[in-house]
Each structure stands twice: as C-alpha cells, then as structure tokens.
C-alpha cells in the first residue's frame, strides 16, 4: 500500500513566509541597535500575526479601492461620459429616437441637449451606415480620424468639436448654433 503525501500546501507556504518575515525583522532590528535587550522569552502567537497581516492587506485594498473610485469619478468620462443618461430621456436606443428627442429638446428651448441628442443620432448613423461602432472608450478625436475621408468632413468635425465643448467646457448652444448643427446633421445623413 503506497501512500502519497503532499509536498507543499498554501498553509505551509504562508507559515514559512511568516517565519522568514519574523526572522528578517529580528535581524533588521538587532542590526540597528545591538545593545537592545533580548526578547527571546516574549512571543506573539502566529494567529495574531496572521490576523494583523490580513487586516493590513484588507486596509490597503480598501484604501486603494476608495482612491480609484474617487479618481474615476473625477475623470471627465465619470462625470460627463457618454454612458451618462440625459435627464428626461428613458432608454433611447435608436437613431430615430435620438432624433425625436433632439426635436423635443429643441422645442422646449434646450438646444444643448438637442445637439447632444443629434450627436448620439450621428453615432447611430455611423454604426448603421458606416460600420463604426460607438464604443464608450472612443474619443471625439478617434471619431474625427475615422471619419476624415468621408464626404462633408466639416459637418462631422462640427459635431466632434461641439461635443467636446458641451461635455468638457459645459458650453450652451444658442438657437443660431442649433440651426448650424441641424443643417450639418442633414447634410451627413442625406448623403
């Protein structure tokens, strides 16, 4: 009858690491001041050291998680990203719906939201007609590069620059600017 034994285990590796850390710490402290009294009679149970180690790791993890969350919220895509829902619009999914919402916002005098809806309608148009999928990570600069060889490039550029101004500078759109955006949108989709 042959019996096989485990060569190593996670528990054994953890205890070995703990022992090596204790020995390193003792050596480091002893070499800093050789005149310290010996503490051989005082020992800390390994369970306490493991608990302190895990509490320390959990604390570092929580700290880093909170810092990353705050950092992500301070980034432009966290505040104004295009995953943000526009106030008053519920689950808009098609280009026609975006266009309808743009006209509703324009009718209510909110040209900024109307232009934002035209922007999303344009992204839907690019996905359906031109095969450019609207990724959350894609910037207006990338869209500019992807559409640079299309007809009516100035119309596309108007939307890319306008979206940057609306989202990152929080500029508002006047009635005259709305007309410019509307004409540019018509030129692109009626191509």
Asked whether residue 152 is domain-assigned, the answer is: yes
Asked whether residue 57 is domain-assigned, the answer is: no
pLDDT score of 84 more than 60: no
Per-residue pLDDT band for 81 (boundaries 50, 70, 90) equals very low
Asked whether residue 150 is domain-assigned, the answer is: yes
**Share above pLDDT 70 across residues of the chain, in percent, rounded to a whole number:** 72
Task: Summarize the confidence of residues 26-33 as an average pLDDT.
Answer: 75
User: Which range, of 39-53, 56-70, 147-161, averages the lowest pLDDT?
Assistant: 39-53
Q: CB-based contacts of 128: which residues, under 8 Å, 6+ apart?
A: 95
* φ, ψ dihedrals at 39, nearest 5°: -115, 35
Per-residue pLDDT band for 76 (boundaries 50, 70, 90) equals low
CA-based nearest residue to 122, from 104, 140, 110, 149 = 140
DSSP conformational letter for 41: T
* Residue 164: predicted pLDDT: 80
Q: Which domain holds residue 116?
A: 95-189
State the pTM of this model.
0.49
CA-based nearest residue to 138, from 115, 120, 116 = 120
Per-residue pLDDT band for 176 (boundaries 50, 70, 90) equals confident
Asked whether residue 60 is domain-assigned, the answer is: no
* Residue 174: predicted pLDDT: 82
Asked whether residue 70 is domain-assigned, the answer is: no
Task: Summarize the confidence of residues 134-148 as an average pLDDT.
Answer: 73
**Alpha carbon distance 118, 95 (integer Å):** 9
pLDDT score of 36 more than 70: no
Asked whether residue 178 is domain-assigned, the answer is: yes
**Number of compact structural domains in the chain:** 1
CB atoms within 10 A of CB 115: 26
* Residue 89: predicted pLDDT: 40
> Which residue has better confidence, 186 or 47?
186
* Residue 82: predicted pLDDT: 43
Asked whether residue 7 is domain-assigned, the answer is: no
Asked whether residue 137 is domain-assigned, the answer is: yes
């Amino acid at each position: 009858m042959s019996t096989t034994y485990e060569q190593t285990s996670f528990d054994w590796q953890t205890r070995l690491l703990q022992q090596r850390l204790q020995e390193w710490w003792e050596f480091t402290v002893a070499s800093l001041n050789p005149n310290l009294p010996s503490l051989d009679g005082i020992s800390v149970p390994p369970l306490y050291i493991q608990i302190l180690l895990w509490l320390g790791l959990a604390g570092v993890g929580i700290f880093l998680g909170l810092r990353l969350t705050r950092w992500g919220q301070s980034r432009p895509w966290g505040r104004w990203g295009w995953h943000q829902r526009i106030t008053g619009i519920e689950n808009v999914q098609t280009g026609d719906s975006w266009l309808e919402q743009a006209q509703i916002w324009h009718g209510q005098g909110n040209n900024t939201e109307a232009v934002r809806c035209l922007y999303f309608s344009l992204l839907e148009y690019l996905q359906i007609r031109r095969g450019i999928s609207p990724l959350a990570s894609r910037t207006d600069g990338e869209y500019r590069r992807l559409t640079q060889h299309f007809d009516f490039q100035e119309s596309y550029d108007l939307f890319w620059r306008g979206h940057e101004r609306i989202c990152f500078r929080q500029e508002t759109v006047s009635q005259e600017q709305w007309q410019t955006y509307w004409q540019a949108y018509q030129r692109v989709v009626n191509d």
